Amino acid sequence: MRVDVLTIFPEMFTGFLNTSIIKRAREQGHLTVNLVDIRDYARNKHRSVDDYPFGGGPGMVMQAEPIFLAVEALLPGAGAVRPPIILLSPQGEVFNQALASELARQERLILICGHYEGVDERVRQFLVNREVSIGDYVLTGGELPAMVIIDAVTRLLPGVLGDPAGATEDSFAMGLLEYPQYTRPRSFRGLEVPEVLLSGNHEQIRLWRRQQALERTWRRRPDLLAKLELSPEDRRLLVD
């Protein structure tokens, strides 16, 4: 997958792109990230890309032109099929695992990181075809949200996680929270690992984990459980 990121702070991405799984995904050719500095498309010698809001009010607004020019430079030839062109803003649809899977099926994404008090509305109306928020809180800019989306999408790309079940069997993909995990030692400060996990009985372990995941979801995120179709086995595990 290729991701173009339009930002006024490309340096924010350096650590993220050069660490751990994202670094490896890039090295192995699963992911290409092209950072575009929006200031390169400013047509003034100060390279400014914001201005005062018409109608007055606090703060500055990102101008339409540099953002339009930056996207047009990436997509020469009008009328061609456009990839998702996503504006990151708190006003967008809220990002979740289902949207991550949908975006992971695309060959290319263009992410536009908003800033200041907002972005000229014409970007929203005539340039982007999607607007995404990573949650109901306000950040200083769209850079962290862009990294969140790249991270969640990259781990779903075929070949990125060593274990092919890694991404599909994780909690949100299954609609449940994760079951408890333990590693060595068996006893830590007198705290023991649940006996069933040491039993070697794979069916018992599967049932225990499923029950733990169901119970945890029931207690912490009943909203998630309500969306699930529970099997007869799940119903039994929940009442036990």
Residues that bind ligand ADE (CB under 6 A): 88-90, 114, 133-135, 137-139, 141-142, 145
Structure tokens at 157: 């790309």
Q: Is 141 annotated as a binding residue?
A: no
Q: Is 136 annotated as a binding residue?
A: yes
The verdict on whether 47 is a catalytic residue reads no
Spatial separation of the C-alpha atoms in residues 12 and 3, rounded to whole Å: 16
- Least Å distance between CB 93 and ligand ADE? 10
**How many CA within 13 A on the CB side of residue 149?**
31
12 contact partners, CB below 8 Å, separation of at least 6: 143, 144, 147
Helices (H), 105-201: 121-126, 143-154, 165-168, 171-174
- Least Å distance between CB 87 and ligand ADE? 8
The verdict on whether 120 is a catalytic residue reads no
Structure tokens at 48: 């400014």
To 5 degrees, how large is the angle CA 84–CA 68–CA 133? 45
For ligand ADE, the closer CB: 83 or 141: 141
For ligand ADE, the closer CB: 66 or 114: 114
Catalytic residue among 51, 72, 117, 169: 117
Q: Is 149 annotated as a binding residue?
A: no
Q: Is 138 annotated as a binding residue?
A: yes
- Least Å distance between CB 233 and ligand ADE? 38
Catalytic residue among 40, 65, 151, 170: 170
For ligand ADE, the closer CB: 110 or 160: 110
The verdict on whether 90 is a catalytic residue reads yes
Q: Is 134 annotated as a binding residue?
A: yes
For ligand ADE, the closer CB: 92 or 176: 92
Spatial separation of the C-alpha atoms in residues 87 and 74, rounded to whole Å: 15
- Least Å distance between CB 9 and ligand ADE? 13
* Own/partner long-range contacts of 15-22 (Cβ < 8 Å, ≥24 apart): 16/147, 16/150, 16/151, 21/154, 21/155, 21/160, 21/161, 22/150, 22/151, 22/154
Catalytic residue among 26, 108, 155, 209: 155
The verdict on whether 158 is a catalytic residue reads no
Task: Judge contact between 72 and 82, C-beta under 8 A.
Answer: no
Binding-site annotation: residue ranges for S-adenosyl-L-methionine:
114, 134-139
Catalytic residues: 90, 117, 155, 170
